[in-house]
Amino acid sequence: MSKQREELEHRLKLRNIKLSDYEDIREIMVSIYKNQGGAWTKAELKNQLKAFPEGQICIEDNGVVIAAALSIVVDYSKFGDNHTYDQITGFGKFDTHDDDGDTLYGTDVFVHADYRGMRLGRRLYDARKELCENLNLRSIIAGGRIPGYSKYADEMTPRKYIDLVKNREIFDPVLSFQLANEFHVRKVITKYLPEDTDSRAYATLLEWINIYYEKDEKLIGNKKSIVRLGLVQWKMRRFSNVDDLMQQVEFFVDTVSGYKSDFCLLPEFFNAPLLAEFNDMEASEAIRNLADYTDEIVARMSELAVSYNVNIVAGSMPEYDGKKLRNVSYLCRRDGTQNKQYKLHITPDEAAYWGLQGGNGIHVFDTDAGRIGILICYDIEFPELGRILAEQEMDILFVPFWTDTKNAFLRVNTCARSRAIENECYVAITGSVGNLPKVENMDIQYSQAAIFSPSDFSFPHDAIVAQASENEETIIVADVDLDLLTKQRKAGSVRNLEQRRLDLYSVQWKQKKQ
């Protein structure tokens, strides 16, 4: 791994706060609230954790807390809308927490200055929403500062200011963020935090309604049931450099993330347009030069995964270590960690033009949204690989591909549908469209992205969850239900995995070093 990639790698973890995190939390609070009283004492944090440990959430990076959100449960009728921060939090001791309350009250959210722009606040808000749903609480309520108001206080009322922020005429660093996270303003309250001079002691009383109220849900941290997949059907176009390429990648990652997808899948060799820079070289030399960009692209892709809170299956790219040229797909998780899967089977064309060699290992990867496998293009045409992954309890199989003609595409498509049925899993495929004139061996493209399911009563009648239009640049976003896979494997009309005749045959992996 390059030095650049080591420096950029994060290991983000969402968890509950511990008392041993105090010094990390204190450092952030002192920096942010130096004009509003600074940090809590360690004794205050101890009381908060004792009162409601499940509501005190943080994000750590490589073991250091870099963001946190705190909350309590209250019987809101005891306080009403005209409360102050000190009243509802018991002057920060959280002795107002009520296990039998009906409302999750957000007391604070803060992010270390070095981690601004990574959308960690949104993750904390999402965790709060999940906690509210899983505790079966009516809503989340919070008093929100409006620090930008001080610039306009002499010319407009707080109500007018809030209306302009809602209409995006004015940006407020706190209120704009809260509105973007599906909170609405119930009213304006006064003297909420008297020491908050930037807000002129005003605050917004914000609410997020739990539409699942009265349902019995699990607490945060358990395996997701509904997983949202975002597939990018990528158009090949000329890019002058890596920055141009990554600008287009970020556009699609941003779009997929905007639909709150858990995964974003890109095609095989999505970075092929950069080959145009090496048109004067032999094909084998050009692809090795393209491999020089892989480390940089993976590092930047990992940053996008963290920043946009989506696990990225980064298509595939060439990797060259001076001895072997291989085709590799990177899994860039949204917690900052990475894994990779090599293409195992090399087509005759890839071997002849480029001298590609196959990898020697196959893996199932754990993620926060299920166990996944990755098979690059031609590999999906070998049923043994899907079966080996299924035996390791894979839920979703991702297949980034590149095909030039319809008959080549149909091989990938048909085999992917077969893998979904025979292995009782979801299979997501996507490729590239368009043309790349004068880029040898990558000049034409054919694709129709799709998500396939097993074929039984619980799934779509044609076993197609979603499917893109042929040969058009687009995305498809769809939900898959992992609980249905469990149901299929245990009670389906047919049960391909359970009813194999292992007394007659088996598929074995002959272990070899990667």
- Contacts with 91 (C-beta within 8 Å, 6 or more apart), sequence order: none
Which residue reads 């595409």 in tokens? 409
DSSP character string of 40-63? PPHHHHHHHHHH-GGG-EEEEETT
- Under a CB-based contact definition with an 8 Å cutoff, are residues 242 and 296 in contact? yes
- What is residue 328's three-state secondary structure? strand
Which amino acid belongs to residue 230? G
Q: How far apart, in whole angstroms, are the C-alpha atoms of residue 281 and residue 491?
A: 57
The 8-class DSSP code of residue 293 comes to: G
SS (H, E, C) 335-362: CCCEEEEECCCCCHHHHHHHCCCCCCCC
Which residue reads 């600074």 in tokens? 38
Instruction: State the catalytic residues.
Output: 268, 343, 377
CA angle 316, 320, 326 (to 5 degrees): 50
Q: How far apart, in whole angstroms, are the C-alpha atoms of residue 372 and residue 342?
A: 15
CA–CA distances in Å: residue 327 to residues 268, 291, 311: 9, 9, 20
- Contacts with 168 (C-beta within 8 Å, 6 or more apart), sequence order: 176
Residue of 390, 403, 406 lying closest to 429 (CA atoms): 403
Q: How far apart, in whole angstroms, are the C-alpha atoms of residue 69 and residue 428?
A: 35
Q: How far apart, in whole angstroms, are the C-alpha atoms of residue 105 and residue 81?
A: 12
Backbone torsion region of residue 92, taken as left when φ is above 0, otherwise alpha when ψ lies between -120 and 50, otherwise beta:
left
How long a stretch of residues is the chain?
514
Q: At what angle do helices 406-423 and 383-390 cross, to 10 degrees?
A: 30
CA–CA distances in Å: residue 80 to residues 76, 88, 100, 189, 207: 6, 10, 17, 11, 13
